[in-house]
Structure 1
Amino acid sequence: MEGSRAGREPRGAAMAEEWISSVNQSNKAALLTWVRETGIDLVQVNGQRRYGGPPPGWVGSPPPPGSEVYIARLPRDLYEDTLIPLFQSVGQLYEFRLMLTFSGLNRGFAYAKYSDQHGAGKAIAALNNWEVQDGRAILVCRSFEKCELSVSGLPGTVRHAELHTVLLDATEGLLRLTLHASTGRKQGKVAVLTYSSHHAAAMAKKALLEGNVELFKKKVKVEWLKPDLKEQLQALREEPPPSNVQHLGSPERVLPSSEPRAALGRLGALCRQLHLGTPRFLTRCVQAEPNGWQRYWGQVVIPSHPVPCSTFLWVREDTPGTAGHEKMKEAVAQLALMMLGH
């Protein structure tokens, strides 16, 4: 069950050899029996055990973003013989991943990816707070796959076109590249790379760290983009714009003036459709310029989304009142919709 499917020992024998610990033997034995009787294929790699991705008989492309749920508060002696049938009962599973310790216990959390977003929404509605054992209720919420990398320590002379060419040659699935001045004391630049999927981003990270990429032979650091760094970079690069344009996160994105509350309505409808809970907004004015420009910070918290969405926005406050706060809500709603894949 470890590594590739070709040339492996029978599943039951491989699992029995791996689990030499006496911990939790009865539940491990039940899992072995279930695997043997169902013929289900489980593959263990790098601290997780996976079913599917794709499962037998799958036809077509992988599921779209927003189709995966995060499962937490799992009893440590619970395994796939209980969890996979439970999560299959509400929709078609594309993949199920259980995180494991070296002793063979689960680490208390797992991921279930469905064939579409509707399946993930049904799982949240039906199984969040489900008691898998007496008095042990699990948490089920939307999972959002990491697709962004940060590259720090780049030379200050590096150009966007040069870096873009290198990345297109060395990696696959690059959607967007932005360059920023370093946030630390050292001179240089930081790049943010956005990829088409978590898998593409993970493969890019591996290629840039281990591959023979000339630009990355220097002392650069490639890691998953941290939320605090993302917010710092957004704050540093934004200056009062010269014209009456409201920027969202980057110069390429603008807040449409023709539909002043379109994103708010779409986000509310999407959260109801996917059973994510009611979005809650926080906004505040953090800077005011003499020429009338005001800088706002905004955040939206979605109950079934583990990480809040936040950004900054420059607004020309021509009239007093709450207009700036409303524009900030619309901007952060747009950001949340993009993170949800809409």
Structure 2
Amino acid sequence: MGWNQEPDIVMEDWGQPQAWLNSINSKKKDELVQWVLGADIELNQINGQRIYGGPPPGWVGDVPPLGSEVFIGNLPQEIYEDTLIPLFQSVGKLYEFRLMMTFSGLNRGFAYARYSSKHFAEQAIVQLAGFEIKPGCKITVCRSTEKSEITLDGLPGFLEKDAIVKILEESTTGIHTVSLYASPTANSKNMAVVKYISHRTAALAKKRLCEGVQVICGYPFTVDWLQPSVRQKLQVATMAKPSFLPPKMTPAAEVAQEKLTPSAVQCLQLLCDNMKLGQPLYHIKFLTLGTHGWLRFRYWVQIPMRPVPFTGYCWLAGDKLIPTDKYQQAKEMVALQILKELGYIAD
């Protein structure tokens, strides 16, 4: 891939934020360390990127608007912040600077600079696009695409927008707007388009929501960046209105019959017995009780004769439940999800 186009950020967790100090290119890194100490600059390495600011020391006011960030490409791998930050600060006040890093301590050839205003971002493009950062190497500077919208597809029709917002607020931050439409991929399901205040908050939210298998109220959903085809439909207002299907109320006459229907936990147990896979072992850990009554929990289910356990995260509306009921409802949701993954229940 050429460096004249902006790549997607790969959010990696290397777990060793100081590994770059002990690897290759030590002379340049020593120079960076001396500059950091002398300039009293703080750099934080998180998820494969080294970050200055966001906000910088002494910042007063809101996060800069979309359009205030530029993408910087074609960087020599041995160039670091001691060269880049002063260069881009020469144009205007920086709110944040993010240099993408490899585990070995080289930069990945691209970075992002967010200014305090759109005006400074435009000036950076004018003044620094094609700048010769070292003999024979000219950098690319252009407007960042700043992806800030993700989609949650496959949501059940009885979840209204307010409920979705409350769920998202328990696990992500920086939500700007949430819009709800009919799913373009699944009948009677909905898709939420969630816009965040910045690309960074959107990327972190996407990473958080993609941890494990995601299930809401027993229904799996997918998380992705807003795709161009969907964006085009939004722009021309051709997305269908969302489906609103209230939870089915069981008539009194059907209650007795429903009690005879085996639960998802029982069905999974029968399936495992018939296939001689062993008894499923459930491990459920409740992580947080949200302010709106939504419980987030992680599950790990081991079926003895399967080498890989089933893992994921899920939400449960459980503020009124006693602990035993919370655990049983969580087990039921997890068993239902496993049966779907195994292909015994259609979505």
TM-score, length-scaled by structure 2: 0.56
What is the letter of the counterpart of residue 80 of structure 1? E
Q: Given the superposition, is the C-alpha separation of residues 107 and 211 from structure 1 closer, same or farther in structure 2, using an over 3 Å criterion?
A: closer
Q: Which moved more, 1:202-211 or 1:55-64?
A: 202-211
Partner of 2:162: 165
Runs of at least 5 residues in structure 1 that lack an aligned partner in the other structure: 1-13, 236-246, 253-342
Q: Please identify runs of 4+ aligned residues in structure 1 that moved more than 4 A.
A: 206-214, 247-252
Equivalent-residue separation in structure 1 for 2:150 and 2:176 (angstroms) = 11
Equivalent-residue separation in structure 1 for 2:213 and 2:222 (angstroms) = 15
The alpha-carbon deviation at position 38 of structure 1 amounts to: 1.6
What is the letter of the counterpart of residue 178 of structure 2? R
Equivalent-residue separation in structure 2 for 1:18 and 1:200 (angstroms) = 25
Deviation string 1:108-157 (CA, Å, 9 cap, x unpaired) is 000011111111111111000000011100010111322211122334xx
Partner of 2:284: none
Partner of 1:65: 66
Of structures 1 and 2, the larger Rg is shown by 2
Partner of 1:177: 179
What is the letter of the counterpart of residue 86 of structure 1? L
Deviation string 1:231-290 (CA, Å, 9 cap, x unpaired) is 4x559xxxxxxxxxxx556699xxxxxxxxxxxxxxxxxxxxxxxxxxxxxxxxxxxxxx
Equivalent-residue separation in structure 2 for 1:40 and 1:177 (angstroms) = 40
Q: Given the superposition, is the C-alpha separation of residues 100 and 209 from structure 1 closer, same or farther in structure 2, using an over 3 Å criterion?
A: closer
Contact 2:153 2:183 in 1 (8 A): no
Q: Given the superposition, is the C-alpha separation of residues 212 and 129 from structure 1 closer, same or farther in structure 2, using an over 3 Å criterion?
A: closer
Contact 1:52 1:94 in 2 (8 A): yes
The alpha-carbon deviation at position 212 of structure 1 amounts to: 12
Equivalent-residue separation in structure 2 for 1:251 and 1:187 (angstroms) = 11
Partner of 1:131: 132
Contact 1:152 1:222 in 2 (8 A): yes
Runs of at least 5 residues in structure 2 that lack an aligned partner in the other structure: 1-16, 170-174, 242-347
How high is the sequence identity, in percent, across the aligned residues? 47
Contact 1:48 1:100 in 2 (8 A): yes
Equivalent-residue separation in structure 1 for 2:189 and 2:72 (angstroms) = 40
Contact 1:94 1:113 in 2 (8 A): yes
Partner of 1:318: none
The alpha-carbon deviation at position 64 of structure 1 amounts to: 1.6
Contact 1:47 1:101 in 2 (8 A): yes
Equivalent-residue separation in structure 1 for 2:102 and 2:31 (angstroms) = 18
Equivalent-residue separation in structure 1 for 2:35 and 2:217 (angstroms) = 47
SS of 2:220's partner is coil
Partner of 1:201: 202
Partner of 1:147: 148
Q: Find out whether 1:41 has 2:42 as its counterpart.
A: yes
Contact 1:171 1:203 in 2 (8 A): no
Q: Given the superposition, is the C-alpha separation of residues 196 and 217 from structure 1 closer, same or farther in structure 2, using an over 3 Å criterion?
A: farther
Contact 1:149 1:193 in 2 (8 A): yes
Partner of 1:77: 78
Q: Given the superposition, is the C-alpha separation of residues 204 and 166 from structure 1 closer, same or farther in structure 2, using an over 3 Å criterion?
A: farther
Deviation string 1:180-222 (CA, Å, 9 cap, x unpaired) is 23337x7744332233433553454456456999726532111
Partner of 1:90: 91
Equivalent-residue separation in structure 2 for 1:33 and 1:56 (angstroms) = 19
Equivalent-residue separation in structure 2 for 1:144 and 1:69 (angstroms) = 8
Partner of 1:112: 113
Equivalent-residue separation in structure 1 for 2:29 and 2:128 (angstroms) = 24
Aligned residues: 220
Q: Given the superposition, is the C-alpha separation of residues 217 and 81 from structure 1 closer, same or farther in structure 2, using an over 3 Å criterion?
A: farther
SS of 2:88's partner is helix
What is the letter of the counterpart of residue 120 of structure 1? A
Contact 1:209 1:216 in 2 (8 A): no
Contact 1:69 1:142 in 2 (8 A): yes
Q: Find out whether 1:218 has 2:219 as its counterpart.
A: yes
Partner of 1:25: 26
SS of 2:84's partner is helix
Equivalent-residue separation in structure 2 for 1:168 and 1:212 (angstroms) = 20
The alpha-carbon deviation at position 90 of structure 1 amounts to: 0.8
